[in-house]
Structure 1
Amino acid sequence: MDRQDPGTTVWFSLSIDGEDLGYFNGCEGLSSQVEIEQRQEGGNNGFVWQLPTRVTFSHIRLTRPLTPDTSKVAKWISSVQTGIERPTGQITALRADGSEVARWGLLDVLPVSWQGPSLDAGSPSVATEVLEIAHHGFTD
């Protein structure tokens, strides 16, 4: 069996309805939470029922150095002004050699915010952008 080192550098690709929005070097917020309601049953003092109610999904923040793919992100965000469509999305974690580590399908994706770089000639830092997206759950 060919095992790959899981600690190698990972980067992420984002596509919305099959449209590639480029590669990102940071991804945070791939999480969900199940809200639990506690119910006590009369006459049963040994435990309390833990019942699931709703599932919530956090916003996902993707970061990367400024690239020509920024225009694809801007085009997608601008499309929201003409009517809200909630497409499916896909985030794929890739190793340095391009092989896939993991993949997350996202339902009803919507851009929440985009933050462009702070451009300052006096600061030699890398110009980065941050894209934040919301979704209604995971899929295949």
Structure 2
Amino acid sequence: MTMLEDTATAVGLQYHVAVDDHDLGTFASCEGLGVEVVMESREEGGFNTGIWQLPTRVKYPNVKLTRPLGKETEAVMAWLSTVSQGLRATTASIEARTTDGTKVVRWTLQGVVPVRWTGPSLTPDTTKVVTETLELAHHGFGKGG
């Protein structure tokens, strides 16, 4: 496989999301997948040869998923209604797929908690596509690719 063939699979992706037993459907965009090691600087005394960079903890940014409003919005609302009955950390999977449904890559997120759901601004003078955004916090990546 050439690099061009491999790159072609990453064009026009959609993101299928499931949280435990809840299939939330396909989203058009996914932002925030990442990991950051927080570093602490310590100046060395005596020799004054430099500053040590020491790893202290790992941070995971929130993941934001966005899509046009549609029938799958009902699945998100159903899941969020169960969350309001008692907040508990769950496991989520985000699967990047090509437009024909072929899986490119899958991420499994541990300790997922919904942070925010934002619906559309429904005003009569808006001609844009109405969208929804789901924001999830998590405690790291798990196995399950």
User: Which residue does the alignment assign to 1:87?
Assistant: 90
| More deviation, 8-17/48-57 | 48-57
Determine the C-alpha separation between the residues in 1 that align with 2:69 and 2:129. 8
Instruction: Using structure 1 for the length normalisation, give the TM-score.
Output: 0.89
Determine the C-alpha separation between the residues in 2 that align with 1:44 and 1:92. 51
| Runs ≥4 residues deviating over 4 A | none
Give the superposition deviation at 1:30.
1.1
- Percent of paired sites with the same residue: 44
* Equivalent residue runs for 1:45-56 within 5 Å: 45-56=48-59
| More deviation, 3-12/56-65 | 3-12
1:39 equivalent to 2:47? Answer no
1:135 equivalent to 2:132? Answer no
Does the residue aligned with 1:108 lie in a helix, a strand or coil? strand
Give the superposition deviation at 1:95.
1.1
Give the superposition deviation at 1:6.
4.2
Determine the C-alpha separation between the residues in 1 that align with 2:16 and 2:34. 18
Runs (5+) with no aligned partner, structure 2:
none
User: Which residue does the alignment assign to 1:114?
Assistant: 117
Instruction: Using structure 2 for the length normalisation, give the TM-score.
Output: 0.86
Determine the C-alpha separation between the residues in 1 that align with 2:23 and 2:142. 18
1:38-57 Cα deviation digits (max 9, x unpaired) = 22344443333221111111
